[in-house]
């Protein structure tokens, strides 16, 4: 009996130390959010409870953070929880990973050298679709533009 208890004890201790993991998890937002910055450069999405300052993003894209006030950005989240951000006139789509009280730039995806005219995101799992007027739709992942024929 003593041997059985000694053998079961480590199993009980190990099982008590494991972390509860719930999966799979789908973080995707069904539609994009169009957010307008306030005078301080803050955008806020009430539905998903996220807010952040876009001044550093505006400076990265335009080299002028004063353009943040009243700027409209487009934001969507993919299956894995990455945030895709762009705006009219941007040349790039920015991919951010959520952090502890932050959004960390993971990838800057060059889209059009002349800048986007009328960008819009769609959720097309497992990728994010970027539309821009008459331009060919692009399929985006956290790693960049997904080539046609690949998924």
Task: Give per-residue pLDDT as tens, 91-147.
Answer: 999 999 999 999 999 999 999 999 999 999 999 999 999 999 999 999 999 999 998
d(CA 90, CA 130): 13
Q: How far out from the chain centre does Cα 140 lie?
A: 11
Total structural domains in the chain? 1
Residue 10 lies in a domain: no
Please tell me the distance from the alpha carbon of residue 17 to that of residue 12, in angstroms, as a whole number.
Answer: 9
Residue 76 domain-assigned (yes or no) = yes
Q: The domain containing residue 129 runs over which residues?
A: 26-146
CA 81-135-117 angle, to 5 degrees, is 80
Is position 67 within any domain? yes
Q: What is the pLDDT of residue 7?
A: 54
Q: Does position 30 have pLDDT exceeding 70, yes or no?
A: yes
Q: State the Cα angle at 46 between 68 and 100, rounded to 5°.
A: 75
Give first-to-last CA distance, the chain, whole Å.
Answer: 57
Residues 42-90 have pLDDT tens digits of: 999 999 999 999 999 999 999 999 989 999 999 999 999 999 999 999 9
pLDDT tens string 88-105: 999 999 999 999 999 999
């Amino acid at each position: 009996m003593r041997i059985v208890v000694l053998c079961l004890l480590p199993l009980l201790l190990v099982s008590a130390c494991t972390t509860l993991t719930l999966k799979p998890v789908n973080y995707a937002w069904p539609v994009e959010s169009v957010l307008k910055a306030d005078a301080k450069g803050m955008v806020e999405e009430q539905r998903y409870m996220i807010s952040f300052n876009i001044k550093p993003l505006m400076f990265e894209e335009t080299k002028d953070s004063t353009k943040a006030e009243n700027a409209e950005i487009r934001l969507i989240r993919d299956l894995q929880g990455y945030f895709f951000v762009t705006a009219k006139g941007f040349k790039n789509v920015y991919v951010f990973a959520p952090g502890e009280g932050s959004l960390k730039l993971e990838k800057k995806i060059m889209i059009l050298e002349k800048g986007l005219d009328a960008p819009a995101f769609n959720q097309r799992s497992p990728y994010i679709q970027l539309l821009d007027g008459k331009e060919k739709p692009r399929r985006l992942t956290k790693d960049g533009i997904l080539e046609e024929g690949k998924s």
